[in-house]
Amino acid sequence: MEEVVRGSVSEWEAYLRLRQWVRDQWEDGWDMGAIDFCPPWDAMLILELTRRKLSLGMCTHYATVMSQCCAALGLNARTQIMRSHCINEVWSTDHQKWVAMDIGGDNNDETRFVYHFERDGEPLSAVECHEAWVSDDYADVNVSPAPPPATEGRYEVEKRLRLFERFMISLRTDELRSLEPGESEHGKGSYHYDGYLFWEDDRTKPLPWFSNHTARTADLYWSINETYIHLLDSDGNGCLKVILESPTPNLSHFERESGPEKWERVEDCFDWRPESKGSELCVRSVNHHGRPGVISVVKVLMDD
């Protein structure tokens, strides 16, 4: 997997490279394969079977592979189920938000088109796509990258945004340890597991046969890879105790900026004595894959 993203100049580019690699693994997507089998939520099994053209490969499997390959690389992605489709949302440190990506929306193995939506150059989350659709406000929304001519109009913004009429996220990330609870034949039949979290609003009423619905954006879009800085007066003489915490998956350690483009490892609790008026402290989290998180900054204004 490292070879797929090697040379990426940013985390965002790594996502773009990885999503295309995932789609390119299928030469006969949407075919049930030689053994007429729908694989479960297991990327390693899915990839092994598709190499041998033994099983079904469709949007649910592309999304599963994307999520689990991201996890293997220290990136963050989740599987999202929507109207007759399944996609991913990835956490972009570069954009500091969750971004919806459609890896399995193209059933044409000649084009294998993958994409996301943007508005004024800003990639959109699933709820932003949903709101654009239900409010009929998508004149300035575009598909990125631009669909190739060979897709023959199948990726018009209106057609694809319609899929966001209703969506839900899976709250599980342990499918490699246990296939249950949930649907083992992911996407082949109807969804019945009552552990998904659905979005609802005035224009999207909850489904009575599912229990978990929310209208709170924060329930779907929590922040990760950020570092929270707490400051305490340490000695009453200008020294501050710094306490760091972070909702970074697979957190390894924290780093402090020690100079231009230079970072040093620090503990989650240390003393800091600001040296001058306007002193800044810049810190970030790092996960076990060595991927840095969002840079957090605190500036101290000292009395004369």
Closest CA to 247 of 263, 226, 266: 226
CA quadruple 131, 100, 77, 56: dihedral sign: positive
- How far is residue 55's CA from residue 34's CA, in Å, rounded to a whole number? 6
Strands 167-170 and 77-82: antiparallel
The CATH fold of domain 228-300: Immunoglobulin-like (2.60.40)
Predicted confidence at residue 215, as pLDDT, reads 95
Report the 10 Å Cβ neighbour count for 264: 10
User: Rounded to whole angstroms, what are the CA distances from 174 to 48, 116, 166, 266?
Assistant: 20, 26, 24, 31
Predicted confidence at residue 219, as pLDDT, reads 95
Instruction: Find the helix or strand (DSSP H, E) in which 44 lies.
Output: helix 43-51
- How far is residue 124's CA from residue 75's CA, in Å, rounded to a whole number? 18
Predicted confidence at residue 131, as pLDDT, reads 95
> DSSP characters for 50-71?
HHTT-S---HHHHHHHHHHHHH
- Single pTM value for the model: 0.91
How many residues are present in the chain?
304
Structure-token pair, residue 67: 């999520």
Residue 253: partners with Cβ closer than 8 Å, 6 or more residues away: 265, 266, 285, 286
Predicted confidence at residue 277, as pLDDT, reads 66
Q: Per-block average pLDDT, block size 10, for the chain (304 residues)? A: 92 97 89 89 93 91 95 94 93 94 89 95 96 94 93 90 94 80 78 91 91 95 93 82 96 95 96 82 96 93 69
Predicted confidence at residue 102, as pLDDT, reads 97
Instruction: Find the helix or strand (DSSP H, E) in which 72 lies.
Output: helix 59-72
What would you report as the CA-atom Rg of the chain, rounded to the nearest whole angstrom?
Answer: 22
Instruction: Find the helix or strand (DSSP H, E) in which 4 lies.
Output: helix 2-5
- How far is residue 54's CA from residue 34's CA, in Å, rounded to a whole number? 5
Domain ranges (residues) in the chain = 2-220, 228-300
